Amino acid sequence: MKALFVNCTLKPSSETSHTGALMRRSVHILQEEGIEVETIRPIDYHISHSVNPDDKLSDDWSLLFPKIMESKILVMGSPIWLGERSSVASKFIERLYAHSAETNELDQYTYYNKVGGVVVTGNEDGAKEVSRSLLYALQHMGFVIPPQADAYWVGDAGPGPSYIEEGKENAFTASAIKTMSWNIIHMARLLLSNPIPAEGNIAYK
Amino acid sequence: MKALFVNCTLKPSSETSHTGALMRRSVHILQEEGIEVETIRPIDYHISHSVNPDDKLSDDWSLLFPKIMESKILVMGSPIWLGERSSVASKFIERLYAHSAETNELDQYTYYNKVGGVVVTGNEDGAKEVSRSLLYALQHMGFVIPPQADAYWVGDAGPGPSYIEEGKENAFTASAIKTMSWNIIHMARLLLSNPIPAEGNIAYK
Amino acid sequence: MKALFVNCTLKPSSETSHTGALMRRSVHILQEEGIEVETIRPIDYHISHSVNPDDKLSDDWSLLFPKIMESKILVMGSPIWLGERSSVASKFIERLYAHSAETNELDQYTYYNKVGGVVVTGNEDGAKEVSRSLLYALQHMGFVIPPQADAYWVGDAGPGPSYIEEGKENAFTASAIKTMSWNIIHMARLLLSNPIPAEGNIAYK
Amino acid sequence: MKALFVNCTLKPSSETSHTGALMRRSVHILQEEGIEVETIRPIDYHISHSVNPDDKLSDDWSLLFPKIMESKILVMGSPIWLGERSSVASKFIERLYAHSAETNELDQYTYYNKVGGVVVTGNEDGAKEVSRSLLYALQHMGFVIPPQADAYWVGDAGPGPSYIEEGKENAFTASAIKTMSWNIIHMARLLLSNPIPAEGNIAYK
C-alpha cells in the first residue's frame, strides 16, 4: 500500500519546513506498518493555477497526478498564513478538483476508496481552519475522512517560535499525530478489503 | 441499525422547514434499506448553551443524548444565516463536544464507529461553509465522514424562493442527496462489521 | 458617545469570563477617552433563536436592541469552541440580522455609521476564524470595520490554561487590544462628524 | 485619487472573466466619480509564492506593489473554487502580508488609510466565504472596510451558467455592486481628508 504526503509549504526542499517535521512523525508510523510513503513539496515543481483537466499535460502536474492515483492515502500538510491554508495548498486542491469529472471503472468519482488526512503547523492560530478547508475539499471530491484526521501544532498568540523550536514536546500534538496516522492506516486497510459499493453513488454529470 | 436526523432549523415542528424537506429525501432512502430513522428538531427542546458535560442532566439534552448514542448514523441539517450554520446547530455541536472526554470500552472517543453527514438549504449562498463547519466538527469528535457526505440546495444570489418552492427539481441536489445517503449507509454497514481497531487511537487525556 | 460590549461567553455573569477579562482592557481605554461603555452578556438574558424581526417584542431582545441602537460602537466578544464562535454569538448575530430590512431616516441600513470590533479568547486555536466570522457579519449589516479591528489571545495547541492565567503578559495581545480600541474610537469619532453620505447606498428591498 | 482592481481569476487577460465583468460595473461607478482606476490580473504576471518581503524584488511583484501603494482603494475580485477563494487570490494576499512589518511615516502599518472591497462570482455557492476571507485579511493588514463592502453573484446549486450568461439581470447583485462601489468611494474620500490619527495604533514589532 502506498501513501503520498504533500507538504504545501512555501519553501523548496532546500529549506527546513516545520510542517514537514511534523509530517515526518506520521510518515514513520506508516512506514513501520509497511506502507510505502513518498513525500513531495509542490513548490519544487512547476504547477500552473488551473481547474482545467487538460492542463495536466502541460506542466509538472503530469508528474504528480500518477503519484496521487497510485496512493491509497493522501496526507496534505500546510503552514498557516493569516489564519488560512497556504496558496500552494489552494493551488494543489484546485488541480485535484480539475479531475472531478473523472470516474473509476464503477463510475464513482476517481478518488473513491482513498483516505485523506491533514497536518498543519504555524507559529500561532489557524490550524483548525486550515484542516476544515482541506478535509472538506477532500471528502467533497471522494476521499474518506477517518476520525480525528487532523493533527497540528500552533504556539500562543502572536509571532514566536515555530514547531521545530517549540512544538516537539507538546503532548497534545504528539497524541494527535499518532491518532491521525493510525486512523488513516485503519481506514485504508478497511477500504482495501471492502471498497465502497457502487450503489447510489455514481458520479453526477 | 438506527440513524438520527437532527434538523437545526430555527422553526419548531409546527412550522414547515425547507431543510427538513430535503432531509426527508435522505430519510426515505435509509428507511428503504431497513434503517430505523428518527428525526428531531433541537428547537423543540429546552437545550442550554453549554460545553459542560454535567449539564446533560439538567435540561432536555438528557432526552437527546441517548438517541445519538444509539444511532450508527448522525445527519445534521441546517439552514444558512449570513452564510453560516444556524445558532441551533452551533449549540448542538457544543453539547456533542461536551462529551469529548468520554470514551468507549476500548478507550477511543465515544463517537467512534459512527458516521456523519450534512444537509443544508438556504435561499442563497453558504451551503459549503455550513457543511465544512459541521463535517469538520463531527470528524474531530470521532465520526467517520464518507465521500461526498454533504448535500445542499441554494438558490441564486439574493433573497428569493426556498427549497420547497424552487429546489425540488434541481438535478444536482437530487444526485447529491442520493449519494450522501448511500455513502453513509455503505460506511455504517462497513463499520458495523469492521469497527475501527483500538490501536494508536486511544483518547487523549 | 456610547459603546456596547457584548460578551458572548457561555457563562452567566456570576462566573469569571476570560473573554470578559480581555474585553475590560478595551473598555478602560474607551472610558479614559470619555466614552460611556456598557457591557452585557447575552447568556444572562432570555433570547430566542430567531431571524424574525417581530420576535424582538416577545423576549429580552427588546431590552438589548435599544442598547445597540444607542451605541456608536459595538464590540463583540466570543470564546472559541471547536475552532468557531460560540452559539451565543451566533444567536446574537441572527437577532441583529433580523433587523436587516430596517433603515435609518436616509434609507440606509439601520446600523450605518456604527463601528464594529471583536475580542476573542480561547485556550488554543481559532481566534482568527471567530473574528473573520463576526467582522464579516457586522460589515455585511452596515457597520464600518476599522483597521486591525480584532484582538485575541490563544495558548498553544491542546488543552491548557486560559487568558487570565496565561495571557495577560502576552505583548502581541496587549498591542492588539490597544490598537483595536483606539481604531474603533478614531473611526467612531470620524463618523460622528462625517456620517456616510446617502448616495448610492440605500437599502435593497 | 486612484483605485486598483485586482481580478484573481485563474484566466489570463486573453480570456473572458465573469468576475471581471462584475468588477467593471464597479469600475464604471468609480470612474464617473473621477477616480483613476487600473485593473490587473495577477495571473498575467510572474508572482512567486512567498511571504518574504525581500522577494518583492525578484519577480513581477515589484511591478504590482507600487500600484497598490499609490491607490487609495483596493478591490479584490475572485472566482470560487470548491467554495473558497482562488489560489491566485491566496497568493496575492500572502504577498500583501509580506509587507506587514512595513510602516508609514507615522509608524502605522503601511496599508493604513486605504479602503478595501471585494467582488466575487461563481456558478454556485461560496461567495460569502470568499468575501469573509478577503475582507478579514485586508482589515487585519490595515485597510478600512466600509459597510456592505462585498458584492457577488452566484447561481443556484450545482454546475450551470456563470455571471455573464445569467447574472447580469440579478437585482440584488446590481444593488450590491452599486452600494459597495459608493461606500468605498465615500470612505476613501473621508480618509483622504481625515486620516486615522496615529494614536494608540502604532505597528507591533
Report yes or no: B171 and D158 within 8 Å, Cβ to Cβ. Answer: yes
CB C125 within 8 A of CB C157: yes
Q: Would you tell me the crossing angle of helices C127-141 and C87-97 to the nearest 10 degrees?
A: 10
- Kindly state the cell numbers that stand for D81: 473554487
For B153-176, the pLDDT digits (tens) are 999 999 999 999 999 999 999 999
- Report yes or no: C34 and C82 within 8 Å, Cβ to Cβ: no
Write down the pLDDT at residue A58. Answer: 81
- Residue C125 pLDDT: 98
Structure ipTM over 0.90, yes or no: yes
List the single residue in A157, A159, A172 with the smallest CB-CB distance to C158: A172
Residue C96 contacts residue C26 (beta carbons within 8 Å): no
Q: Would you state the pLDDT for residue D53?
A: 82
Q: Nearest 5°: phi and psi at C201?
A: -130, 30
Whether the CB of A178 is below 8 Å from some CB of chain B: the reply is yes
Q: Is residue A200 part of a domain?
A: no
pLDDT confidence of residue B101 = 86
**Average pLDDT of span C164-185:** 97
Asked if A86 lies within 8 A of D94 by C-beta distance, the reply is yes
CA atoms within 13 A on the CB side of A1: 23
* Residues in chain D where the model's pLDDT stays below 50: none
Residue B91: exposure state from Cβ atoms within 10 A (0-12, 13-18, ≥19):
buried
Chain D neighbours, 3+ Cβ pairs < 8 A? A, B, C
CA dihedral A162, A168, A171, A177 (to 10 degrees): 90
Output the pLDDT for position A137: 98
For a pLDDT cut of 70, what percent of chain C falls above it? 99
Going by C-beta distance under 8 Å and a sequence separation of 6 or more, which residues neighbour residue D12?
D41, D43, D44
Q: How far is CA C53 from CA B121, C49, C50, D15, in A?
A: 21, 11, 8, 45
Cβ atoms of residues D201 and D119 within 8 Å: no
Which residues on chain C are in Cβ contact (under 8 Å) with A121?
A: none
- B29–A109 C-beta distance less than 8 A: no
Q: How far apart are CA C99 and CA C110, in angstroms?
A: 8
Phi, psi of B84 (to 5 degrees): -135, 170
The confidence score (pLDDT) of residue D183 equals 98
Q: Which of C147, C149, C181 sits opposite D112 (nearest CB)?
A: C147
Residue D82's nearest CA partner among D43, D19, D129 is D129
Burial class (CB in 10 A: 0-12, 13-18, 19+), B53: middle
Write down the pLDDT at residue C58: 82
Higher-pLDDT residue of C204 and B111 is: B111
Predicted local distance difference test score (pLDDT) of residue A56: 66
Q: What pLDDT sits at residue A101? A: 86
Per-residue confidence (pLDDT) for residue A26, from 0 to 100: 98
User: Which pLDDT belongs to residue B187?
Assistant: 98
Q: Label the pairing between strands A150-154 and A115-122.
A: parallel
Mean pLDDT, consecutive 10-residue stretches, chain A (205 aa), reads 98 97 98 98 96 81 96 98 98 96 96 98 97 98 98 96 95 98 98 98 90
Residue B202 inside a domain? The answer is no
CA dihedral A11, D49, A184, A100 (to 10 degrees): -150
Q: How many CB atoms lie within 10 A of CB A45?
A: 13
* 3-state secondary structure labels for all residues of chain C: CEEEEEECCCCCCCCCCHHHHHHHHHHHHHHHCCCEEEEECHHHCCCCCCCCHHHHHCCCHHHHHHHHHHCCEEEEEEEEECCEECHHHHHHHHHHHCCCCCECCCCCECCCCCEEEEEEEECCCCHHHHHHHHHHHHHHHCCEECCCCEEEEECCCCCCCCHHHHHCCCHHHHHHHHHHHHHHHHHHHHHHHCCCCCCCCCCCC
Give, in order, the Cα–Cα distances in Å from A187 to each of A63, A147, A148, B195: 27, 9, 12, 10
Contact C186 D196 (CB under 8 A): yes
pLDDT at B56 over 70: no
d(CA B22, CA B143): 22
Residue A198 lies in a domain: no
The residue of chain D with its CA nearest to that of C132 is D136
Burial class (CB in 10 A: 0-12, 13-18, 19+), A70: exposed
Nearest chain A alpha carbon to D44? A49
Give CA–CA dist A157/C173, Å, rounded. Answer: 7
Show the domain range for D160. 2-193
Write the CATH number for D115.
3.40.50.360
The per-residue pLDDT of chain D, averaged, comes to 96
Say how far apart CA B175 and CA B169 lie, in whole Å: 11
How many domains, in total, are found in chain C? 1
Q: Which residue has the cell 452599486?
A: D178
Predicted pLDDT of residue C56: 66
> Does residue C204 sit within a domain?
no
Residue of chain B whose Cα is closest to the Cα of D168:
B157
Kindly tell me the burial class for residue D15, based on how many C-beta atoms sit within 10 Å of its own C-beta (0-12, 13-18, 19 or more): exposed
C-alpha cell at D140: 487585519
Cβ–Cβ < 8 Å for A164, A39: no
Chain A neighbors of D82, CB-CB under 8 A? 93-94, 97, 136-137, 140
Q: Does residue C192 carry a pLDDT above 80?
A: yes
Rounded Cα gap, residues B133 and B128, in angstroms:
8
Supply φ then ψ for residue D131, to 5 degrees: -60, -45
Is C172's CB within 8 Å of A159's CB? yes
Q: Taking CB atoms and an 8 Å limit, are C93 and B82 in contact across chains?
A: yes
- Chain D contact set for C139 (CB, 8 A): 135, 145-150
Q: A182-198 pLDDT, tens per residue?
A: 999 999 999 999 999 99
Q: Does residue D76 form part of some domain?
A: yes
* pLDDT band (50, 70, 90) for residue B12: very high
Q: Do D83 and D126 touch, CB atoms closer than 8 A? A: yes
Q: What's the pTM?
A: 0.98
pLDDT of residue D101: 86
CB neighbours of residue B169 within 10 Å: 7
Cell of D117: 472591497
Q: Is A42 left (phi over 0), alpha (psi -120 to 50) or beta?
A: alpha
Tens of pLDDT, residues A43-53: 999 999 999 88
Q: Is residue B30 part of a domain?
A: yes
How many Cβ atoms from other residues are within 10 Å of residue B31's Cβ?
A: 13
pLDDT of residue B6 exceeding 70, the answer is: yes
Angstrom CA distances, A94 to A124, B51, D86, D200, stand at 26, 36, 8, 42
pLDDT score of B44: 98
Measured CA to CA, the distance from residue C50 to residue B11 in angstroms comes to 8
